[in-house]
Structure 1
Amino acid sequence: MSETIVMPKLGMTMTEGTITEWYKDVGDSVTKGEPVLMISSEKLNQDVEAPFSGVLLERLGEVEDELKVGEALAVIGEEGEKASAANKQDTNAVSVELTEYEKADSSAEKPPMNAKKEQVPRDRIFITPLARRMAKDQAIDIETVEGSGGNGRITKRDIERVLANGSFKNTEQPKESIPQQTVSSTSIGAGLSPMRKAIARNMRESLAQSAQLTLHRKVNADQLIEFQQTLRNKISASHPDIKLSLTVLLARATVLALQEVQSMNSTYHDGKLTVYDEVHLGIATSLDDGLLVPVIKNAQQKTIGALADEMKEITEKARSGEADSALLSGSTFTITNLGASGIEYFTPILNPTETGILGIGSLQEELALTKDGTVTTCRKIPFSITFDHQIVDGTKAAEFLSALAKYIESPYLLVL
């Protein structure tokens, strides 16, 4: 009996994935645990392995097709077996069930070979999920589209061909003459690499589903820098491998500030707001072709040294392509540092479904007046906190920045 491979869920926020590459053709033998295809989500590429051995009977999507989590990707069975629609488990109409007419007809005596075939309604339509969404967005009647895929399946290319020819039945008339300024979900990131396309979709989703506002503030970092140098001198002999960067100390300060202002350490997903005691800190990590956010789980339990070690480990995994879905999911708050690029202030976009993200700018040297009126210099770090105004107000975001400033200006609190 044939079995189905479905689109896996690689992270809490993943709703769909894109087929990047097929390793197997229809008719090829597959072994349990052997990669069958590669998919990409909003965060990473990953091989999908065969959960059982057999022969690949059918591929239910083409390269660049987007399928929702749980939708059928392929059917595996025994050689010579036909793929059964009942086993595909695709509730979004990879195929339509047999009609009562077809069921009755299947049990009746077959007509003579030369009998005139009766015209019956096209009740069984094979169509990929992406093609169905494109047809819906463009008001195309799929009854009028001829599919070029297996079993006459309608694919993305068929919809594109219909759009190019302009030969389709528009079943929905506009209700008003004002053109709608909407963007089809299928067009977001079109023409980009799978990772850039996923990032584009993720960022557009973030902006569409939250009310984002950014506050900016500079904090005196003189004491923090002195504290960093003192710790480096103390541990250099016994722990030479620990890289005690300012980012590590700022991560520790962020964790402590989040424990004071817990409303900032929260997620909002599917109508449910969750405020966390644990801080799962996302570290935005730039790559040559995109951005990943590996996560330090339970960061509130980590010492400064442990944070330094883990931050180095997870960012190296992200840049080398070794990060798995567990490492790239589950964050409750994210920090992103553009200090090395010389950027002072910016407006980071929330990592769905988080309430806040902290942007760190480059260290600034400024003139300042002392209490006795003399001019001196000081070093300040600019911060940009973007938050979801649906969840918290500006006063809470400002309260978080104040708590952060306290730990930066009194850095010995970081080790208490």
Structure 2
Amino acid sequence: MPQSPIVMPKMSMTMTEGELINYTVTVGQEVSAGDVVAHVATDKVDMEVEADTSGKVIELCATPNQMINVGEPIIILETEGEDLLAGLFDAPAAVVETQSEQVEVVVAAPVVATETKSVLAMPGARAKAAELGVDLAKVTPASPSGVIQVTDLKVSVDPDRRAKARTQIAKVTMASAQIPQFTVLRTISIDHKFGKTAAKRAATLLRAWQHTLSAMPHLHVFWENDAATQLIDVKVAVAIEAPYGFVTPVISVPKNPVGDWDDAVTQIVEQAMIGKILVANLSGATTSITDLGDYDILQANVMLIAPQATALSIGSIKKTDNGLELIAGLTMDHRVGDPGDAAKALVQFEKSINEVI
């Protein structure tokens, strides 16, 4: 009978392995696509692994607390379809990205919710509060309007998990320090309305950055093996603060987004803020955006994650008599471009953001 592996999913750009917490199935058990078959963990998230096809469990490939490389099988299913294991072990295991698994943070024991009808809150915040068991009466809104938004919801954080997350971040930072990089800054004027939160601004920033890279394709590259590789599709890792540190859902930006694309982006970002990301949105980034405009800081200097050559950052956002001004930073691999290229890119970004709003 054909066999199909369920593999350790890649839950972040830098993840190379994950820990098996436990199995929820046994050998001989029949499973359907979408059934939860195991729990795994990284320093930042715990998640449920779902079967992406139906079949019978014929092998459990690991034991609880075992570390497993990304893309390696954790379960083998006997299926009716094509034999996906054919040739799998002829060479070192490749990274396999599953598209139907759901990343979901396991939060602390829920708080018993109280009556919240008198509390001012956005519908999305009410829905998430109910899902997380958060009492909205105990949530302090960041907005001067006093209306609670999704970004105001917090979850309990395990200090040990946070410490492990910081350790992983330190490793990534050390690797980034090996890249010859620089950052340039520019004050950008916006003539039109702009989202008041990072979640609401995300789609606009993504559109504008896609336009910029399309206009300057020599900057949209990977630097690998001492050479630049030209990229076509713009896939942006959007850095978002979550309970255990920043996570980076990856969003593919089409040249001409249509329909409810903007709303879908907002939903992806809001979900990431509370620790929920689809596995399909956790790999393939070609560039990144970090928006810290919600924190009233002057600027944000971010570091590159290899092999990406560009990283856009958003700092202070202020009202002016003619609209808004924001401080944008562009970090670039010096092997790909020089400060003049980065300066021109930010000029193009200012033009693009006013065109797409």
1 CA distance for matches of 2:315 and 2:239? Answer: 14
The one of 32, 43, 62 equivalent to 1:60 is 62
2 CA distance for matches of 1:195 and 1:274? Answer: 33
3-state SS, counterpart of residue 345 of structure 1: coil
Shift of 1:76: 7.9
The one of 238, 244, 249 equivalent to 1:289 is 244
Please say if 1:414 is aligned against 2:350: no
Report the equivalent of 2:348: 403
Aligned ranges for residues 321-360 of structure 1 at < 5 Å?
Answer: 321-360=275-314
Judged with a 3 Å threshold, the aligned counterparts in structure 2 of structure 1 residues 318 and 11 are, in CA distance, closer, same or farther, namely closer
Report the equivalent of 1:214: 183
Shift of 1:321: 4.9
Paired letter, 2:69: K
Larger RCO of the pair (alpha carbons < 8 Å, separation 6+): 2
Judged with a 3 Å threshold, the aligned counterparts in structure 2 of structure 1 residues 89 and 74 are, in CA distance, closer, same or farther, namely farther
Gaps of 5+ in 2: 79-86, 93-158
What do the CA deviations read for 1:35-86 (whole angstroms, capped 9, x no partner)?
Answer: 4422346886341649742465x653441x4332354546789xxxxxxxxx
Shift of 1:5: 5.1
Paired letter, 1:302: P
The one of 326, 333, 336 equivalent to 1:388 is 333
Shift of 1:209: 5.3
Shift of 1:400: 0.7
Report the equivalent of 2:231: 276
Paired letter, 1:21: I
2 CA distance for matches of 1:75 and 1:302? Answer: 39
Please say if 1:363 is aligned against 2:317: yes
The one of 263, 269, 287 equivalent to 1:315 is 269
Shift of 1:358: 0.8
Judged with a 3 Å threshold, the aligned counterparts in structure 2 of structure 1 residues 212 and 191 are, in CA distance, closer, same or farther, namely farther
Contact 1:228 1:246 survives alignment (8 Å): no
What do the CA deviations read for 1:332-355 (whole angstroms, capped 9, x no partner)?
Answer: 222111111111112112244321
Shift of 1:264: 2.5
Gaps of 5+ in 1: 78-86, 93-189, 233-242, 367-375
Aligned ranges for residues 250-269 of structure 1 at < 5 Å?
Answer: 250-269=205-224
Judged with a 3 Å threshold, the aligned counterparts in structure 2 of structure 1 residues 193 and 211 are, in CA distance, closer, same or farther, namely same
3-state SS, counterpart of residue 390 of structure 1: coil
2 CA distance for matches of 1:19 and 1:194? Answer: 16
Please say if 1:23 is aligned against 2:23: yes
The one of 27, 46, 49 equivalent to 1:47 is 49
TM-score (norm 2): 0.61
3-state SS, counterpart of residue 302 of structure 1: coil
3-state SS, counterpart of residue 347 of structure 1: coil
2 CA distance for matches of 1:12 and 1:321? Answer: 12
Shift of 1:11: 7.3
2 CA distance for matches of 1:66 and 1:283? Answer: 27
1 CA distance for matches of 2:331 and 2:272? Answer: 24
Paired letter, 1:37: A
Judged with a 3 Å threshold, the aligned counterparts in structure 2 of structure 1 residues 341 and 320 are, in CA distance, closer, same or farther, namely closer
3-state SS, counterpart of residue 210 of structure 1: coil
Shift of 1:406: 3.3
Contact 1:202 1:352 survives alignment (8 Å): no
2 CA distance for matches of 1:54 and 1:248? Answer: 41
2 CA distance for matches of 1:228 and 1:350? Answer: 30
Q: How many residues align?
A: 278
2 CA distance for matches of 1:30 and 1:197? Answer: 39
**Percent identity of the aligned residues?**
20
Contact 2:20 2:63 survives alignment (8 Å): no
The one of 257, 273, 277 equivalent to 1:302 is 257
1 CA distance for matches of 2:274 and 2:217? Answer: 33
3-state SS, counterpart of residue 297 of structure 1: strand
What do the CA deviations read for 1:318-337 (whole angstroms, capped 9, x no partner)?
Answer: 34555322122222222111
Report the equivalent of 2:141: none
2 CA distance for matches of 1:205 and 1:90? Answer: 34
Contact 2:12 2:283 survives alignment (8 Å): yes
2 CA distance for matches of 1:263 and 1:405? Answer: 19
Which protein is richer in helix relative to its size?
1
